Amino acid sequence: MTTRIGPQMSRAVAIVAANPGCTKRFVAERITPHPIPSKNWALGYDPVNRAIKAGLIKATYSAGRYSLTVDNSEEGDK
């Protein structure tokens, strides 16, 4: 079974690649083209969680938050 990578998942991976060590909230706020600060970011978390589940983003939990990174070997495959 192959994983379909949609535009929001791709955007999430690109954001994490450009900002290693960022949080899920940081990425969720930047998934939509024009985020509104008072908006509920639940929709932005879905693509981040799907990318983590698919193995595109590595999430490490420590100090009460997730730190996100992208494996460099996967970036070279794209």
56 belongs to a structural domain: yes
pLDDT at residue 5, as a whole number: 86
Q: To the nearest whole percent, how much of the chain has pLDDT over 90?
A: 45
1 belongs to a structural domain: no
Residue range(s) defining the domain that contains residue 29: 7-77
pTM for this model (two decimals): 0.77
Q: CATH number of the domain that 16 lies in?
A: 1.10.10.10
The domain total for the chain is: 1
69 belongs to a structural domain: yes
Buried-exposed string 52-67: b where 16+ CB fall within 10 A, e elsewhere: beeebbbbeeeeeebe
2 belongs to a structural domain: no
pLDDT band at 75 (very low <50, low <70, confident <90, very high): very low
Q: 31 with 76: CB under 8 angstroms?
A: no
Q: Once rounded to an integer, what is the mean pLDDT over residues 41-48?
A: 78
